Each structure stands twice: as structure tokens, then as C-alpha cells.
Amino acid sequence: MKHIKTIAFDADDTLWHNEPYFDEAQERFCKLFQDFASSQEILGSILNHQVKNLPLYGFGIKAFTLSMIETALQLTQHNISGKGIEQIITIGKDLLQKPVELLPNVEKVLEELQGKYKLVVATKGDLKDQHRKLHESGIGAYFHHIEVLSDKAELDYEKMLGRLECKASDFLMIGNSLKSDVLPIINIGGYAIHIPYRTTWEYEKIDFEIKHENFKAIDNIGEVIALL
Amino acid sequence: MKHIKTIAFDADDTLWHNEPYFDEAQERFCKLFQDFASSQEILGSILNHQVKNLPLYGFGIKAFTLSMIETALQLTQHNISGKGIEQIITIGKDLLQKPVELLPNVEKVLEELQGKYKLVVATKGDLKDQHRKLHESGIGAYFHHIEVLSDKAELDYEKMLGRLECKASDFLMIGNSLKSDVLPIINIGGYAIHIPYRTTWEYEKIDFEIKHENFKAIDNIGEVIALL
């Protein structure tokens, strides 16, 4: 990977913890509606609403909040109180104010890489929220900028490379999702490093293995340096 | 303005019609809750919730939908039915599927400018929604890319110019909002052209006049060519 010029880092669960906050939010939601269905059924219903709403809403916490509200309407057959709706909105707003806790070794790696590569953040999610998290993380200065993508399909990455004026063969993506951070990148001729996080959002799971010369898997972001 | 290298166009109500769709959505909302308050009071309450939620939600239709729901909870003192909530969500989803109708002369101007300047779209709003509108507008190919900004304050523009690797003095912004498309730009040393739209969102109104050597006001986007 000696010719790499630009390195993009996924944000949530690659630079900082995120999925545990969503898990906690979903637990709160399940508890609110425990008289209507099992947690497993409720989580399945939220995911269905999220996926159904993706073409209109995209990713992020506002979309998640609206999908929770639709799930609640369905679970209760529209017999939900105004207070219940308000509690869902609060779950969403709480998520938008969670502290940003960096993963181990992140800052050390960025310090090592800065000046040698153009570093960017490439993430899905809410625009405002991701900008907030980068700002609060204290590592914003290591990056040229943040790219909030409406999706992470091949075309989204190709457009991003156009904006960065970077060839795919000079580009490395580092992230925790095989589906979003690895597959589309190797398909367009770029390089990818996968660092699994301890829990993965159901939507990001894939059920096959990836083997490719442009792809490496590591356990900890600290191992990135040795690969470059 | 002979030295301008990069021109950014605001999107909503500069390239295509937008505010009338929001006005129509708000009218539908007012009708739903006409037993609780006058239209004027309801519109004021929506705006209050939108502005209060800006630091968490930012701009765009998902934020607008969530703010309408909070307004409805307040208006009804939480005595709202699940059906009522669903109707609000439908108003929001309808907004996300409105046709994109270009303003007069837009395509003619872009045709004239392409190749001579780096053209970008610089807009607030929902990431997914603005990408959709640019795609459906049919004018995407004229632009190097679209920048969806979480706000249009001076710092947001400075960061954007950093990404574009463009000096403020080589940059021209064209838009319908004096507050968002003109003031911050001339404050950071750039150039701005204002083209008023027939209606302006309350939040974007300012109550003073702007006079500056880097600023021009025109009535129609067709007049841009003569200014350059």
C-alpha cells in the first residue's frame, strides 16, 4: 500500500463508540412498548421501518427517530398517547447529545499519519450530528475535512473520489463495516482495511467472506501503521 | 468579477422552486389543528420549534417533520391521536417526494458558464433529499459536485472553501437568501449575487440593507452572465 495518497476513516465505531448508544436507545424503546410485543419483535419492526424509509430519509438519528415513531404507531395500532410520542422524541434527542468517546489508539495513529497522507472522515448519518461529533472528538484537526455521505454504495464513493480528485488506486478506506467500508471500495479498485467493532448494526451485516488482494483485516486501529 | 474561479449556487428557490412546497405543507398542518389555534399562531409555533431544534437537528425536512410533531403535542396539550401523528409524518414524506421544477433561465445560465468556472451547488437541508433533487433536476452534470452544509455561517463557508481549495476572493456565491447566501460570503471576502425569490422563509429574513462593493442584486438568474 506504499502508493496510497488519501486515507478515509469511517467515523462511528471506527474512530469513536456509537453502536452501544443505539443499542441503549432501542432498549429504552422496547421497555416503553413491552406490553405490545417482545424485544426481538420490536427490534425487527424498527429495522423494517428504517430500511423501508431509507430511500426517503437516508441514515442518521432523525431518520431513526421518525422510524421509531412509525414503529410505535404500528405496535399500538395507533393507540399511543402524546406522552408516548414525546418519550420517543426524547430518546432521539438524547442520542444526539451523547458524549464522543474515542476508540483506543485512534489519536496515536492519526498523529503518525498526518502530513504523510491526505486524511478525511467518510461517514453516513446526520450532517449536523457527524460534524458535532468530529468537533467534540478533539481530532478534527488531523483531517482535511469530513465527507458525510447519503449512502456508501460504489457510486457514492466514486463521486467522493471525484470531489477529492483522487484515483481509486491511490485511496484507502478504513472502517468497521464490510458492507459499507470494504466491499464497494474494492469493487471500484481502491484499498480497504476492516477493523471489526464489538457489535454491528443488523443492516450492515453480510453473510460471506471477503478475500481480495486490496483488502486487509486487523483487530485494532493501531495495526494500520505497520500495513502502510 | 473577472477573476472569479469558483461559483456556488444555492439550490432551493435559486435553482428550483421549494418554499411554495413548504408553505403548502404548513397549510395542511394548520388545517389539521385549526380547532386549537389560528394559522398565524400555529406557524409561529412551528418556527419556534424549528429554531429551538436547530442546534440538534439542523435544517431539512426530517427536522421540519419532527418540529411539526412537537408543535402538535404542544397545541393539543399531548391530546393527539396516533392518526394525527401519522398525518404529520405523511406531510413530511410528501415533501420529500415533490417534483423538482427548475426556475426560468437556470439551465441556459449553467450552459453558458460550464467549462469557464468550477460550478458547485452549496445548500442546507437533508443530505439525501438535496442529492435526490439535484439528480431529478437534470442539471447535475453542470456541477463539479454538491456541498450540503449543516449551516451557512461564515465558518461553514470557510471550511467549504478549504475543501474546494479556493480563496474567498476567487469565489462567487449566488442565492436567494441575503442572510445565508450573501452576508457571510462578503464578510469573509468573497463575492455574492442575490436573486430574491417571490417568498422567503421567515427564518431567512433580515431587516437591514446590504451595500458592499462585492455584492450585486439582480431580479433574474439570466442577468448573471452580464455581471461576470
Give the minimum alpha-carbon distance from A105 to chain B in angstroms, rounded to a whole number: 27
Q: How far apart (Å, rounded) are the C-alpha atoms in residues A79 and A203?
A: 29
Q: At a CB cut-off of 8 Å and minimum separation 6, what does B13 contact?
A: B19, B103, B176, B197
Q: What is the pTM of this model?
A: 0.95
Quote the percentage of chain B above a pLDDT of 90. 93
Chain centre to alpha carbon of residue B110: 19
Residues of B in contact with A151 (CB under 8 A): 128
Q: Is A190 left (phi over 0), alpha (psi -120 to 50) or beta?
A: beta
Q: Please tell me if residue B52 touches chain A, with a CB cutoff of 8 Å.
A: no
Q: At a CB cut-off of 8 Å and minimum separation 6, what does B105 contact?
A: B220, B221, B222
Name the residue among A56, A83, A150 with its Cβ closest to that of B96.
A56
Question: What DSSP line would sit under B140-194, residue for residue?
Answer: GGGSSEEEE-S--SHHHHHHHHHHHT--GGGEEEEES-IIIIIHHHHHTT-EEEE
Contact A128 B57 (CB under 8 A): yes
pLDDT for the residue B113: 97
pLDDT for the residue A190: 98
pLDDT in tens, A117-173: 999 999 999 999 999 999 999 999 999 999 999 999 999 999 999 999 999 999 999
Q: At a CB cut-off of 8 Å and minimum separation 6, what does A224 contact?
A: A109, A113, A174, A193, A218
- Domains of chain A (ranges; CATH) run 6-16+101-227 (3.40.50.1000), 19-95 (1.10.150.240)
Contact B78 A83 (CB under 8 A): yes
Residue tagged 441556459 (cell numbers): B108
Q: Please tell me if residue A80 touches chain B, with a CB cutoff of 8 Å.
A: yes
- DSSP H helical segments within chain A, as ranges? 19-32, 39-57, 61-75, 82-95, 106-113, 127-137, 154-164, 183-187, 224-227
Work out the mean pLDDT of chain B and round it to a whole number: 96
Contact B82 A86 (CB under 8 A): no
Give the minimum alpha-carbon distance from A171 to chain B in angstroms, rounded to a whole number: 17
Cell numbers for B48, please give them.
419556534
Length of chain B measured in residues: 228
pLDDT in tens, B20-45: 999 999 999 999 999 999 999 999 99
Residue B211 burial (CB count, 10 A): 6
Question: Among B160, A163, A179, which Cα is nearest to A171's?
Answer: A163
Residues of B in contact with A58 (CB under 8 A): 126-129
Q: State the ipTM, two decimals.
A: 0.94
pLDDT in tens, A185-212: 999 999 999 999 998 888 999 988 999 9
pLDDT for the residue B145: 93
Residues of B in contact with A144 (CB under 8 A): 162-163
Q: Tell me which chain B residue has its CA closest to the CA of residue A72.
A: B82
Contact A85 B76 (CB under 8 A): no
Helix (H) or strand (E) holding B134: helix B127-137
pLDDT for the residue B2: 81
Length of chain A measured in residues: 228
